[in-house]
Amino acid sequence: MPVFLDSTAATFEAEFAALLTAKREDSPDVDAVVSEIIADVRALGDAAVIELTARFDRLALSPETLAFSPEEIERECTKVPAAERDALERAAERIRAYHVRQMPQDVHWTDPEGAMLGWRWTPVSAAGLYVPGGLASYPSSVLMNAIPAHVAGVERLVICAPTPDGKVNPLVLLAARLSGVDTIYRIGGAQAIAAMAYGTQTIRPVDKITGPGNAYVAAAKRRVFGKVGIDMIAGPSEILVIADAENDPDWIALDLLSQAEHDESAQSILVTDDAAFGRAVAAAVDKRLETLERRAIAGASWRDFGAIITVRDLDEAAELSNRVAPEHLELCVADADALAAKITHAGAIFLGAWTPEAIGDYVGGPNHVLPTARSARFSSGLSVLDFMKRTTIARMTPAALKAIGAAAETLAISESLEAHGLSVRARLDRLNGDQP
């Protein structure tokens, strides 16, 4: 059973705080192992990657077979049924159209002193996209990671997609092709992250690494950060639904289960202003769990981390949601726009009962790579901007330097940085005719 909370109860604050701080991630002490793997890859390159792939994925590779050949990609793509190909193409089209609108503009202007100021945006040169293998092999994640990078103008895109026991998901390869990715390595784990960060004899290093993974992948991304950029350290999936009694309890139950079925550590929370509706949703969840294909996973998630919270009104619901800062937030209420205006912390918001979060996972358009574990308080989902850098631009005219240079010199002197001040003073002296 999930936990039932009532905001009017005297114990609510303590119970809600416990819900917020509950440890959901299975975080074994993997850092020492990951450190050794990264060191091996840095020292031995291809040989380490090949040996680790044989050990963990039971797959024998050579430098020549680390990546799929164009012929293999073509052959696997032809295996995708027409309906799935059409769905993937539709998703790619919508995701690309959404992310094209995110492209930032270069800006420059002349300020009152006559200085030209501005900024420009340029893409990273190379990006590496990690795609989990096995049961967690999701072609939708390929689209969500690769398309923004392609739209941003990244010249070289590579994917690492492990294929345990040599089993390939053709949809993953088709998604890569639709996203503009040509190079797909069949390696995974911390060794793949290390190879993309530091390079090997066969694998060229990249500038940024994005994509989800297990605890070993997450630990490796933490360790290589600084050598390369990373998107985020993603935790278990989560959804918070704010719903009034005018909703179908079964719809809401399915929305909650859509995240619970991801992972036993996922979290699904319902916030409602009607206690009877909350109980009806709980009953609907129980009924769906009797037949759901992934009922063992979803049931464990709902039992251990699920919650139904009854609140006084929707204003209080918004306040509690902001404290949770959920990855996914559904607003299934009569005036979803008004409630959304009160939300300050959420990875993605889904407005109204006809907008299930699952649409966002596949074909909505916005990215489904989102901040988890309350990090929506200070971060955003993956976007085109994650694959771009902003460079500031400034040009001083002699008149502009004369107008503002003395202030720079004064501040440099106050910080005891003599050369800073002198570099400005030398130019001011030339302008004032004090030196040739």
Binding-site residue ranges for Zn(2+):
259, 262, 361, 420
Pairing of strands 208-210, 183-185: unpaired
Binding-site residue ranges for substrate:
237, 259, 262, 328, 361, 415, 420
Q: What is the pLDDT of residues 258-297, one digit of tens each?
A: 999 998 999 999 999 999 999 999 999 999 999 999 999 9
Q: Is the pLDDT of residue 323 over 80?
A: yes
**CA-to-CA separations, 395 to 13, 120, 400, 405, 429, in angstroms, rounded:** 55, 14, 9, 13, 19
Q: How far apart are CA 133 and CA 345, in angstroms?
A: 31
Largest interatomic CA distance in the chain: 89
**CA-to-CA separations, 430 to 164, 225, 241, 397, 404, in angstroms, rounded:** 69, 45, 66, 13, 15
Average pLDDT for 156-178 = 95
Binding-site residue ranges for NAD(+):
130, 191, 214
Q: How far apart are CA 155 and CA 338, in angstroms?
A: 42
**Would you call 104 helix, strand, or coil by DSSP?**
coil
Domain architecture of the chain: domains with CATH: 31-101+122-230 (3.40.50.1980), 235-378 (3.40.50.1980), 396-431 (no CATH)
Q: What is the pLDDT of residues 32-44, one digit of tens each?
A: 999 999 999 999 9
pLDDT at 387: 98
pLDDT at 182: 82
Mean of all residue pLDDT scores within the chain: 95
Q: Read off the pLDDT band of 120 (50, 70, 90).
A: very high
Q: What is the pLDDT of residues 362-416, one digit of tens each?
A: 999 999 999 999 999 999 999 999 999 999 999 999 999 999 999 999 999 999 9
pLDDT at 165: 94
Q: What pTM value is reported for the model?
A: 0.93
pLDDT at 140: 95
pLDDT at 38: 97
Q: How far apart are CA 202 and CA 205, in angstroms?
A: 10
Q: What is the pLDDT of residues 412-433, one digit of tens each?
A: 999 999 999 999 999 999 998 8
Task: Kindly state the tokens that stand for 235.
Answer: 């935790």
Q: Is the pLDDT of residue 26 over 60?
A: no
pLDDT at 24: 66
More confident residue, 236 or 159: 159
Q: How far apart are CA 222 and CA 35, in angstroms?
A: 11
112 membership: H or E segment, kind and range:
none
Q: Is the pLDDT of residue 135 over 60?
A: no
Q: Read off the pLDDT band of 224 (50, 70, 90).
A: very high
pLDDT at 25: 64
pLDDT at 214: 86
Task: Please give the single-letter amino acid code of residue 175.
Answer: A
Q: Is the pLDDT of residue 88 over 60?
A: yes
Binding-site residue ranges:
130, 191, 214, 237, 259, 262, 328, 361, 415, 420
Q: How far apart are CA 420 and CA 413, in angstroms?
A: 8
Catalytic residue annotation: 327-328
pLDDT at 213: 87
Residues pairing with 207 in the sheet: none
Q: Is the pLDDT of residue 242 over 60?
A: yes
Cβ(302)–Cβ(268) under 8 Å? yes
Q: What is the pLDDT of residues 306-320, one digit of tens each?
A: 999 999 999 999 999
Q: Read off the pLDDT band of 28 (50, 70, 90).
A: low
Half-sphere exposure of 60 (CA within 13 A, CB side): 0
